[in-house]
Amino acid sequence: MKVVLKSGSAAAFQDFVGRAPAGQTIFQEGDVGTEMYVIQSGSVELVKKTRRGDEKVLATLEKGDFFGEMSILEDVPRTATARAKTDCEYIRINQSTFDEMLRHNTEIAVRMLRKLSRRLRETTKLLEETTGMAPSLEEASEASSPSSSVRHRTHRLVGETGEEFFLSTQDETTIGRIDPVTGIQPDVDLAQLDTQRSVSRRHSKITRSGTSFFVVEEIGTMNGTFVNGVRIQTGQPVTIKDGDRLRFGLVDLTFKAKRS
């Protein structure tokens, strides 16, 4: 996630920048917080104390990831401890800056919504398990349908050095990088090929209608999606066929609908 802060001078911008050496605590569980953070370099781990008094690592966050947003959204104490896993640099964002970012950066708003949606699903599932409440019809349908982890045997994306990423047998295959903030993992995780982190967490998706396939760029994608060298518009399905060249950010792949 790219962050642009409008300020009157370089010195003013430095007021937003924080640095922490490996092992240093950025904030402690239970602290009152008025800021959220976006990592510019390095990595940060979120940890929480268990009932036994030890710590559990909830997530390890890297460049572009954000944390501490709940204190801004809900004005509640910190629910976990944030600690620098490596030497890191981050941007502190207060309420007024946060409001400005939401107006100018759709990606952060979309990712927060996904994170909150995932938390709601987890809470609902926990309530069902503890109360014995039956799942909804929609959830029952999902449970009885084929798993999205089942893959096509032929339809796939092939990297320049032969890496193969098989599409889901479902009508939609998500493409991007695993998001430690939301815990969402795409069907096709390009992290191993994306050495420059040009692929957004939820970058694009490939959908199927009958025997036809389409690629659609997701809202908030930063570095574009290309079909045969032409950038596509966000949200507009573009037909793809066997042999078409696709690029997600800086990652080049070829769509294959047949066995070689």
Residue 31 has pLDDT above 70, yes or no: yes
Residue 143 has pLDDT above 70, yes or no: no
Which 8-state DSSP code applies to residue 243?
T
Residue 133 has pLDDT above 60, yes or no: no
Q: What is the pTM of this model?
A: 0.53
Q: Give the tokens for residue 193.
A: 């090929």
In the chain, the domains with their CATH numbers are 12-104 (2.60.120.10), 146-256 (2.60.200.20)
**pLDDT for 105-116, tens place per residue?**
676 677 777 777
Mean pLDDT computed over 41-65: 87
Q: Which residue has the higher pLDDT, 195 or 120?
A: 195
Mean pLDDT computed over 14-37: 88
Q: Which residue has the higher pLDDT, 41 or 16?
A: 41
What is the structure's pLDDT at 25?
96
Which 8-state DSSP code applies to residue 218?
P
Q: How far apart are CA 3 and CA 25, in angstroms?
A: 23
Q: Give the tokens for residue 47.
A: 């940890």
Mean pLDDT computed over 36-60: 88
Residue 95 has pLDDT above 60, yes or no: yes
What is the structure's pLDDT at 147?
41
- Is the CB of residue 11 less than 8 Å from the CB of residue 30? no
Mean pLDDT computed over 148-168: 83
Task: Pick the range with the lowest mean pLDDT from 1-15, 100-114, 193-207.
Answer: 1-15
What is the structure's pLDDT at 13?
43
SS3 124: helix
> Mutual orientation of helices 95-104 and 106-131 as an angle, nearest 10°?
110
Mean pLDDT computed over 170-174: 91
Q: How far apart are CA 62 and CA 177, in angstroms?
A: 12
